[in-house]
Amino acid sequence: MLIPPMTMMDFFRKSEGTWLTLRAVHHFDLVDDESGESNLIVQVVAQTDPKVTEICKQQSIDPAQAMGGGRFMWQANLDDVPPNEDYGAVLIDVPDDETRISGRLIRDRGYVEKIPVISRYWFGQDGILTIDTEYDNNQGQERCWFINDDFRIRVSSVRTMDGVNLTTYCSERRCISDDTLNKMIDRNLARV
């Protein structure tokens, strides 16, 4: 039975790995279609990582308040090369209190506007993570939840002064590492 993560660091740990993302995007004001497939690579960032201090100081936050974070990188689904750091972001968790069910995410780079930004997050009793971000010219909201340990859903919207101009729906399936796949093959061959 699924036990949903209820703190941001638990969410980062549960998300660690590579995910195949199937993305549907609807622009209300453009003809562009950004729907498609991509890989999302998530790595946990330890509390002691120098990146935590760097990003916190960039936003005038005391690094001692940070619990650690997550590094997110995107790449085309069939790319054989390592992901491009320009298509990534590091998010640092600064919880509100000892329950850690809500707090701030300190980002070195936002998703909508590529500037450092602070988001608010909270976990509902149902395990759904909600992240609200105020940019200079936009507001974004993302919600994410796990269906099971290896499948999750993300939905988001971007609002401008004129109203909602972008919505996305993503289903994400965890990819099996080559090492895990080889172990599974070896176990199956041993059974024969």
| Stated pTM of the model | 0.87
User: Which amino acid would we find at residue 119?
Assistant: S
Lowest mean pLDDT among 62-66, 146-150, 178-182: 178-182
Whether 88 and 114 have beta carbons less than 8 Å apart is answered as: no
Q: What is the pLDDT of residue 165?
A: 82
Q: Is the pLDDT of residue 162 over 80?
A: no
DSSP letter string, 4-55? ---SHHHHHHHH-EEEEEEEEEEESS------EEEEEEEEEE-TT-HHHHHH
Q: Is the pLDDT of residue 158 over 60?
A: yes
pLDDT in tens, 25-55: 887 776 666 778 889 999 999 999 999 999 9
List helix spans (H) across the chain. Answer: 8-15, 50-58, 178-191
Q: Is the pLDDT of residue 151 over 90?
A: yes
Maximum distance among all alpha carbons in the chain?
A: 64
Residue 114's pLDDT band (cuts 50, 70, 90): low
Q: Which residue has the higher pLDDT, 29 or 70?
A: 70
Q: Is the pLDDT of residue 174 over 60?
A: yes
Q: DSSP label at 175?
A: P
The residues that bridge with 43 in the sheet, in sequence order, are: 71
Q: What is the pLDDT of residue 51?
A: 94
What mean pLDDT is reported for the chain?
89
Q: What is the pLDDT of residue 112?
A: 56
The residues that bridge with 122 in the sheet, in sequence order, are: 102, 130
Q: Tokens 């070896």 — which residue?
A: 186
Tell me the average pLDDT across 81-107.
Answer: 89
Direct distance between the N- and C-terminal alpha carbons of the chain, in angstroms, rounded to an integer: 31
Q: State the sign of the Cα–Cα–Cα–Cα dihedral 104, 129, 127, 2.
A: negative
Q: What is the pLDDT of residue 190?
A: 92
Q: State the sign of the Cα–Cα–Cα–Cα dihedral 45, 50, 54, 56.
A: positive
Q: What is the pLDDT of residue 110?
A: 61
What's the CA angle centered on 54, arms 52 and 13, to 5 degrees?
Answer: 20
- Domain 8-191 - what CATH class? mainly beta
Tell me the average pLDDT across 143-159.
Answer: 95
Q: Where are the domains of the chain?
A: 8-191
Cβ contacts of 16 within 8 Å, gap of 6 or more:
42, 43, 44, 70
Percent of the chain with pLDDT over 70: 95
